[in-house]
Amino acid sequence: MPIDKELLDILACPKCKGDIYLTQDGNGLICKVCRLMYEIKDDIPVMLIDEAIKLDENLKPTKAS
Protein backbone atom coordinates (compact mmCIF):
# COMPACT_ATOMS: atom_id res chain seq x y z
CA MET A 1 0.00 0.00 0.00
CA PRO A 2 1.56 3.31 -1.04
CA ILE A 3 1.92 6.23 1.35
CA ASP A 4 -1.14 8.44 1.48
CA LYS A 5 -0.66 11.77 -0.36
CA GLU A 6 -2.01 13.70 2.63
CA LEU A 7 0.55 12.08 4.93
CA LEU A 8 3.35 12.77 2.46
CA ASP A 9 2.30 16.44 2.34
CA ILE A 10 2.71 16.88 6.10
CA LEU A 11 5.89 14.84 6.62
CA ALA A 12 9.22 16.68 6.67
CA CYS A 13 12.84 15.67 6.98
CA PRO A 14 13.57 15.33 10.70
CA LYS A 15 17.08 16.72 10.19
CA CYS A 16 16.50 19.90 8.15
CA LYS A 17 12.68 20.12 8.28
CA GLY A 18 12.66 20.31 4.47
CA ASP A 19 10.47 18.59 1.91
CA ILE A 20 10.73 14.86 1.36
CA TYR A 21 9.89 12.89 -1.77
CA LEU A 22 8.76 9.32 -2.32
CA THR A 23 11.33 7.13 -4.09
CA GLN A 24 10.41 5.75 -7.51
CA ASP A 25 9.98 2.27 -6.09
CA GLY A 26 7.90 3.57 -3.17
CA ASN A 27 10.16 1.98 -0.56
CA GLY A 28 11.55 5.17 0.94
CA LEU A 29 11.36 8.90 1.42
CA ILE A 30 14.22 11.11 0.24
CA CYS A 31 15.45 14.48 1.49
CA LYS A 32 17.37 16.01 -1.41
CA VAL A 33 18.96 18.67 0.83
CA CYS A 34 20.40 16.28 3.45
CA ARG A 35 20.82 13.45 0.92
CA LEU A 36 19.17 10.96 3.24
CA MET A 37 16.63 8.24 2.56
CA TYR A 38 14.19 7.15 5.22
CA GLU A 39 12.97 3.60 4.61
CA ILE A 40 9.32 2.61 4.65
CA LYS A 41 8.81 -0.63 6.59
CA ASP A 42 5.40 -2.30 6.79
CA ASP A 43 3.84 0.85 5.25
CA ILE A 44 5.31 3.02 8.06
CA PRO A 45 8.03 5.61 7.31
CA VAL A 46 10.99 5.23 9.68
CA MET A 47 11.81 8.90 10.22
CA LEU A 48 14.87 8.41 12.44
CA ILE A 49 18.05 10.25 11.43
CA ASP A 50 20.26 7.50 12.87
CA GLU A 51 18.56 4.88 10.70
CA ALA A 52 18.51 6.95 7.49
CA ILE A 53 20.52 5.77 4.50
CA LYS A 54 23.11 8.26 3.24
CA LEU A 55 22.90 9.09 -0.47
CA ASP A 56 25.56 10.29 -2.89
CA GLU A 57 25.26 13.36 -5.12
CA ASN A 58 23.14 11.32 -7.57
CA LEU A 59 20.76 10.35 -4.74
CA LYS A 60 21.96 6.74 -4.81
CA PRO A 61 22.86 4.89 -1.58
CA THR A 62 26.52 5.25 -0.65
CA LYS A 63 28.59 2.10 -0.31
CA ALA A 64 29.09 2.77 3.43
CA SER A 65 25.33 2.43 4.08
Instruction: State the total domains in the chain.
Output: 1
pLDDT range class, residue 65, cuts 50, 70, 90? very low
Kindly tell me if the per-residue pLDDT of 5 is higher than 90.
no
Residue 13, C-beta contacts closer than 8 angstroms, at least 6 positions apart: 19, 20, 31, 33, 34, 36
If 0-12 CB within 10 Å is exposed, 13-18 middle and 19+ buried, where does residue 6 land?
exposed
**61, part of any domain:** no
Position 1 scores a pLDDT of 59
**15, part of any domain:** yes
Q: pTM to 2 decimals?
A: 0.87
Over range 16-44, report the average pLDDT. Answer: 95
At 7, phi and psi to the nearest 5? -65, -45
Over range 3-21, report the average pLDDT. Answer: 93
Position 34 scores a pLDDT of 97
As a whole number of angstroms, the distance between CA 29 and CA 51 comes to 12
CATH code, 49: 2.20.25.10
User: DSSP assignment of 35-53, as one string?
Assistant: TEEEEEETTEE---GGGPE
Taking all residues of the chain, what is their mean pLDDT, rounded to a whole number?
Answer: 92
